Amino acid sequence: MILELLSNPPVWRARLVAICAIAVAMTFALPMNSTRAASVSVSNFKLENGMEVVVIPDHRAPVVTHMVWYRVGAADEQRGVSGIAHFLEHLMFKGTKKIAPGEFSKIIARNGGQDNAFTGQDATAYFQRVAKDRLALVMEMEADRMVNLRLRDKDVVTERKVILEERRSRVENDPANILGEQMTAALYQSHPYGTPILGWEHEIRKLDAKAATDFYKRYYAPNNAILVVAGDVTVDEVKKLARATYGKLKPQMERVRSARPKEPPHRVPIRLNLDDPRAGRATVQRYYLAPSYTSAEPGEAEALDLMMKVVTSGTTSRLYKRLVVEQKIAASAGGWFSGSGLDSGRIGVYAVASDGVAIADVEKALDAVLAEFIENGATQKELDRARYSYIASHVYGGDSQVSLARRYGWALVNGRTIADVEAWPERLEKVSVEDLQRVAKKYFDMAQSVTGVLRPTEKKNAGTKEAGDEGGKS
Amino acid sequence: MILELLSNPPVWRARLVAICAIAVAMTFALPMNSTRAASVSVSNFKLENGMEVVVIPDHRAPVVTHMVWYRVGAADEQRGVSGIAHFLEHLMFKGTKKIAPGEFSKIIARNGGQDNAFTGQDATAYFQRVAKDRLALVMEMEADRMVNLRLRDKDVVTERKVILEERRSRVENDPANILGEQMTAALYQSHPYGTPILGWEHEIRKLDAKAATDFYKRYYAPNNAILVVAGDVTVDEVKKLARATYGKLKPQMERVRSARPKEPPHRVPIRLNLDDPRAGRATVQRYYLAPSYTSAEPGEAEALDLMMKVVTSGTTSRLYKRLVVEQKIAASAGGWFSGSGLDSGRIGVYAVASDGVAIADVEKALDAVLAEFIENGATQKELDRARYSYIASHVYGGDSQVSLARRYGWALVNGRTIADVEAWPERLEKVSVEDLQRVAKKYFDMAQSVTGVLRPTEKKNAGTKEAGDEGGKS
C-alpha cells in the first residue's frame, strides 16, 4: 500500500489492480532499462503510416506478449476534463463495428489469453498475452479498436459509474491515498503531473461520450502509437502481420501532444498533516522534485537511481538499517526514485513509526540519515552493491517477456531509443561515489519538497473543523 | 506590504504601484458595492455592437473618470503562457496607427489628465481621469487601441524586460511576497487563481508579440468590454460620444471566456515555512478557500465580510485586541475577505510576532481567537458596529468618483448587475449574529487552508540545502 501510494504508478484497469499494484510499483521504482541476455536481439522498424514497431524475440515458449503504447496520458488532458485519458482507456473495451460491446476481453480469454491496459501521466498502453498462433487475431482486434471504437451513451454512463467507484475505493476510503493525492497536487504548482490520473471526482462526473471521442480522435492513430511484440516470433513474421493489420490504417494529422507547462521553481518547503481515524500507524512521507531519465543531465538519473538504492531501498539501505534495525523507532522505512516521466521525475522517502514513538522523532531521524549521507556520501562498496543489485534484477527482468516489452515500450513512448535502453548498464558503470553525493546534495532540497504526515486519531475527533485542529503541527 | 501580500490585488502598472498598492488592497478587502448618496443615479445601456456602458453622473467638479473593463484576466490564460494578460496590458501603451509608440500616456498628461491600467485574475481595466472637455479625446484614443494596437518586436522585447524587472523587484526581492506567491500556488490545486498574475518568470521570458496578439485578438473587442464613465456628464452626452467612438467598432465572434476548472475539494491542511535572512519579524499568515460574491450562497458573502470585520479587521477587532493589545505577543494582526473573484474568494488572517515571542505561540493565540469565535459567535453590538463601519466607508467611497467607477466596473465585469450593487446595504441589514457564527464555522476550516510562516534567519545559514533544514517545522 505504501509502495503504491508513494510511487504514483499508472492506473491499471480495476479488475487486475490487486494483482498488479506491487509489481507495478516495483517496476517503476526501477529504471526502465535493459541488461538482457546477449542472445536477445531487439529490433525495430516503422510502418508506412508512421507506426513504430519493436520486436523482442523470445523462443523459450510458444507465447507472445503484444502491447500497443499511445503517446498520450493524463498529463495531456485539457484543464477541467481530468480523468478523460483513463476513462477512454476503459471505454476501449466496449466495442467496434466488429466486436460487440464488452466482448473484447472475452474473446481474448476464450482464446486462452489475458489482456489488460493502463493509463499513466505520459502514456496509455493495451496489452495481451496469448499463444503464438493467436497473435494475428489480437493484432487485428487491436488495430480495429485503434480507429473504429463505438461509444454508446449507455456504455459511457455505466463505465463512469465504474470509475467513480474505482476512485471511491482506491482514494476516498484510504487516508494514505487521500494524503498522497493532496501531496502530489501540492508538489506541482503548474505542471499537470499534480492532477490525479484517475481525475478529480467532480470532473469525472462530467465526462461523457463527446469528451472521450474528442480525445480518442485526437490521440489514437497509428502514427501516435508504438507496437511492441515480445515472444516466439521473428521480425519478418511481425512485419508481415503488422502490415496486414495496423499498416492498413491511415495516419492522422496532428498527433503530437502539446508541450506541458514547465514547473516554476519552488522556494518554500510544504507540509501536509492529515489526522484520520482510519489511519494505521503514524507515517511520514516526503516527495522531492527531481529530473527523470528524459529530462536529467547526462548521468544524473543513473546516479539518482543508485543513490536512492543505497540510502533508502530495501532492508540493507541506510535508512532502514538506522531507523528500523538500530534505533527501532520505525516499523518500516524506505524510498524510491521515479524516473520514467517525460517531463520530470521525483524521489520519495517514508517511515512508519513504531508503537509509542512520536512521528516527529521519526522524521528527525530520517532527516539525520539524509543529512549524514549528504555530508559523507556512500562507500565504494555500497555503490558497487547497489549497481550489482540493479544489474541483477534487470537481468532477471530480462527473463520476463512482459517486463522486457514494458521496458522498451516505456522508453520509446517517452522519446528514448532502443540504444538508450541498451547502453544503460554502461552508464551505470560510470557513476561514482562522488556522483551519488552530488545528486543527494542537489535533490534532497527541502525547498523542492512536500512532506506529508498521516496520524491516526480517535473517532470522536473525526470530522471536526475547529480552527487550529491541524494535527501534526507543533 | 502585508496587505498587499495578503489580499493578492490586481497588478497595477509599475510606475504607480507605490501609490496604489495600499489603496488597492484596502479596496479589494472591501466588497465591491455601493451605498451611495441618494442623489446619484447610475444608469446603463448597450451599444449595438454589444458593448455595455455605465454612466455615473457626478457634477461636483468638471472632471470625468473614464474606464474600460475587459472580461478577461490572468485566470483566462492558457497553461504555459502565464503573464500574457498583464504583458498585453503593458503593451496597450505602445501605439496604434494613429498614436506613436509610447505616446498614449503622454497625450493624456499633456491634456492635464492621468491614466493607468491594471490586470486582475478576472478582469483587465484601463482608465483615465481628465477634464470634462477632454472626454471625447480619451474615448477616441481608447476605442482606437481596442482594435488597432500595433506591436513592434522592439517594443515587445523592451517591455518584457520591464516586466521581468517588475517581477524581480516585487517578488524576488521580498521574502513575504515569495511566500505569498507559493502559498497561493498551494491554495489552488487546479484553478488558475494559483498562478501569479505577473506570470512565472520562465514563462514571462517566452512571451512574444505573437502570444500578445493572439490574446488581444481573442479578448479585446467592444462586445467583451464594459465602459464606465463617472463624472460631470449626462447619459445623453455619454451615449452620443460612445456611439461616435466605440460604437463604430465591429463586434467580434467568440468573446466569451472559457469556464475555468473547478477547484477540487481539499482534504488536508497545508503549511509552508520560509526562513529568509531578509525577513523582518516572524509572521504567520493563513489563507482559507471561501466563496466570492459571485459564487456564494445568498447572504454568505455579506456574512463573511461582516464576520471578518468583527474578528480580524482593524484595531477594534477580536484578533488585534487579544494578540496586540491584551496579550502583547503580536506587533500586528489582522485579516480580510477577498470576495470579488469570478469563481471563488478567500479569507486570510495574519499576525506578526512581538520581539522575543515564538511564532508558534502567536499562531496558537490566533487559532484560539478563531476557535473562541466559532464557539461563541459575535455580539449584536459587534455586528452592528461592523455593519455601520462598512456602510460608512461605502458612503465615503461614494464621494470618490474613481471608487464609484471601480465599484460598478468590478461588479459588472464579473457578471453582477447594477441592481446587485445597489441592494448591497439591504442585504447587509439582513445578516444576523448567527450567520456570522455559521460562516466562521464553515470557512475557518483547516482542511481548506494554507498556512505560511516567515522567519528571519542568520545570514550564515542562507542558501544551504541540508535535508531537514526546514525552519519552522517542529
The residue extents of the domains of chain B are 2-248, 270-461
What superfamily in CATH does domain B2-248 come from? Metalloenzyme, LuxS/M16 peptidase-like (3.30.830.10)
How many Å lie between the alpha carbon of A466 and the closest alpha carbon of chain B?
A: 6
Which residues numbered 362-401 in B keep a CB inside 8 Å of some CB on A? Answer: 364, 367-368, 370-371, 374
**Beta-sheet pairing, B124-131 with B283-290:** unpaired
CA A253 to chain CA mean position, Å: 28
**pLDDT tens column, A10-66:** 665 543 332 233 333 333 333 333 334 444 689 999 999 999 999 999 998 999 999
Using the beta-carbon criterion (under 8 Å), do B374 and A186 form an inter-chain contact? no
- Fold of the domain spanning B270-461: Cytochrome Bc1 Complex; Chain A, domain 1 (3.30.830)
Using the beta-carbon criterion (under 8 Å), do A374 and B467 form an inter-chain contact? yes
> What CA–CA distances, in Å, run from B218 to B76, B222, B224?
11, 12, 10
Burial of residue B321 (CB within 10 Å: 0-12, 13-18, 19+) is middle
Is the separation of the CB atoms in B369 and B11 below 8 Å? Answer: no
Please tell me whether residue B460 adopts helix, strand or coil conformation: helix
**Phi, psi of A450, deg, nearest 5:** -130, 125
Torsion, CA A125, CA A131, CA A132, CA A137, rounded to 10 = -60
Q: Do domains A2-248 and A270-458 have the same CATH topology?
A: yes
Report residue A384's pLDDT band, with 50, 70 and 90 as the boundaries: very high
Provide the whole-model pTM: 0.83
Using the beta-carbon criterion (under 8 Å), do B272 and A268 form an inter-chain contact? yes
Residues of B carrying an active site annotation: 89
Separation between Cα atoms, residue B208 and residue B211, nearest integer Å: 5
Sequence letter at residue A47: L
Contacts of B267 in chain A (CB under 8 A): 178-179, 182, 274
Separation between Cα atoms, residue B17 and residue B37, nearest integer Å: 30
DSSP B388-427: HHHHHHHHHHHT-HHHHHHHHHHHHHTT--HHHHHTHHHH
Mutate to test the interface with A, among B200, B268, B285, B464 (most CBs of A within 10 A): B268
Report residue A256's pLDDT band, with 50, 70 and 90 as the boundaries: confident
Closest CA to B378 of B308, B430, B425: B308
**pLDDT tens column, A423-471:** 898 999 999 999 999 999 999 999 999 999 999 996 554 444 443 333 3
Q: Which residue of A has its CA nearest to B272?
A: A270
ipTM of the complex: 0.77
Closest CA to B374 of A473, A464, A462: A464
pLDDT of residue B34: 39
Predicted confidence pLDDT, tens digits, chain B (474 residues): 222 333 345 665 543 332 233 333 333 333 333 334 444 689 999 999 999 999 999 998 999 999 999 999 999 999 999 999 999 999 999 999 999 988 999 999 999 999 999 999 999 999 999 999 999 999 999 999 999 999 988 889 999 999 999 999 889 889 999 999 999 999 999 999 999 999 999 999 999 999 999 999 999 999 999 999 999 999 999 999 999 999 999 998 766 788 899 999 999 999 999 999 999 899 999 999 999 999 999 999 999 999 999 999 999 999 999 999 999 999 999 999 999 999 999 999 999 999 999 999 999 999 999 999 999 999 999 999 999 999 887 777 777 888 899 999 999 999 999 999 989 999 999 999 999 999 999 999 999 999 999 999 965 544 444 433 333 333
Chain A CB within 8 Å of residue B264 CB: yes
Which residues numbered 15-74 in A keep a CB inside 8 Å of some CB on B? Answer: none
Using the beta-carbon criterion (under 8 Å), do A203 and B262 form an inter-chain contact? yes
Using the beta-carbon criterion (under 8 Å), do B271 and A271 form an inter-chain contact? yes
Separation between Cα atoms, residue B253 and residue B224, nearest integer Å: 10
Residues of A carrying an active site annotation: 89
**What class is the A270-458 domain?**
alpha beta
